[in-house]
Amino acid sequence: MKQSFLSKRIVYILLFCYSALSSQKLTIINNNLGNVTVKNSNTEAILKDGNKKEFSGIIKRISIKGTRDLDKSLFIYLEPNEKLTITVEKDNAITYMGDQADIHKYLNEKLNVDTYGKMKDYLNISEKKELSSLKINSELFLTEVLKKVNLPNVILSPEDNNSTKKIKNHIKYNWLYTILSSVNNLKDKNFTREVIDYYYKKYIHSDITQYTCNSVFPYNVMGILIKNKDIIPDKFPIYPIVEHTDSDNINQYFPANCQKFYFIDKYRYLNHINDPQKNYYEKVLNEKFNDQ
């Protein structure tokens, strides 16, 4: 009996040690001259110059705000046993050390610059109504982006771990948004239809039944698709409305974690112009979307 109790205790200790050693850990170091506020989901910490904060558990995103025009939202792509250190430097620059450091740096600091920088090319091609040229140009560019994060494609595979799936989706919808938004307001709606039809069937169709928004890009892409849903071969699922607004006719096609971005977008704009209506959107985000 005593030996059995001792054996169980050893097992519990080993499990605890394994859990501690294998748990995901994110460390934020403040080397900025002023205080920075770091927020991850429900956890918020104010770091003085030289201080650091460790976050454990599954972390999807953190925001870092400071007194000197520092306002960043960083995506985190770690497996449960991986660790990453992010340092806020004196010039507001962000440095990364640890697992997948280079990938985090590219996705958070460079990807938007690259993808948005291609929009001028897409617009020029679209004005000439050259669908084949748009396909070649955009997909060659996607290949170059994927090389920077050591991925062969954006198609999800059963062998992909969770962080790889998230990275693929983030890149795919960032890239798709810059293409679709470039053609969405063209006068020639026939060309717009051709473009949407091609990219939808090749890159989006398989996601529709389990659509999710880990960032604003899937939300924006779906917004474009909804406005052109008459040309989409699939019927979009309809979801319960989390908070009713004048945009229910659009938001009904978004799952809850996508509807959240409607309120984020409204809040950011109203907060920027210091409109008191921002308080309503902030309240909704805190009370109804805090776990999304």
Lowest mean pLDDT among 6-15, 93-102, 129-138: 6-15
113 and 228 share one domain: yes
Q: Of the ranges 30-34, 156-160, 273-277, 288-292, which one carries the lowest mean pLDDT score? A: 288-292
Claim to verify: residue 109 and residue 86 sit in the same structural domain:
no
Residue 268 in any domain: the answer is no
Burial of 125 (0-12, 13-18, 19+ CB in 10 A): buried
**What's the rounded mean pLDDT across residues 169-194?**
92
Residue 8, pLDDT score: 46
Instruction: Report yes or no on 249 lying in a domain.
Output: no
Domain end position, chosen among 237, 261, 277 = 237
Query: Is the residue at 57 inside a domain?
Result: yes
- Do 73 and 163 fall into the same domain? no
Domain membership flag for residue 3: no
H or E stretch including 51? none
The β-bridge partners of 45 are 38
Do residues 84 and 98 lie in contact, with contact meaning Cβ atoms separated by under 8 Å? yes
Domain that holds residue 49: 24-99
Task: Note whether 36 and 87 are same-domain residues.
Answer: yes
- The three-state secondary structure class of 64 is strand
DSSP tag of 115: H
Q: Note whether residue 284 is domain-resident.
A: no
Same domain, 209 and 114: yes
Q: What is the mean pLDDT of the chain?
A: 89
**Does position 185 have pLDDT exceeding 90, yes or no?**
no
Q: Which helix (H) or strand (E) holds 15?
A: helix 2-22
Contacts of 105 (CB under 8 A, 6+ apart): 94, 95, 96
Assess whether 109 and 226 both reside in one domain: yes
pTM here is 0.87
Domain end, chosen from 68, 99, 130, is at 99
> Is 144 found in the same domain as 34?
no
Instruction: Report the share of the chain in percent with pLDDT over 90.
Output: 69
Evaluate if residue 9 carries a pLDDT over 60: no
Q: For residue 208, what is the DSSP state? A: G
In 3D space, the residue among 125, 127, 138, 121 whose CA is nearest the CA of residue 176 turns out to be 138
More confident residue, 252 or 289: 252
Tally of structural domains, the chain: 2
The confidence band for 13, taking pLDDT boundaries of 50, 70 and 90, is: very low
Angle at 104 between CA 101 and CA 108, to 5 degrees: 145
Order of strands across the sheet with 25-30? Answer: 52-56, 25-30, 83-88, 94-98
Half-sphere exposure of 291 (CA within 13 A, CB side): 3
Residue 246 lies in a domain: no
On the question of pLDDT at 148 being above 50, the answer is: yes
Tell whether 264 is covered by a domain.
Answer: no
* 129 and 154 part of one domain: yes
pLDDT mean over 176-184: 94
Q: Which of 210, 237, 264 is the last residue of a domain?
A: 237
- Calculate mean pLDDT across residues 69-97: 92
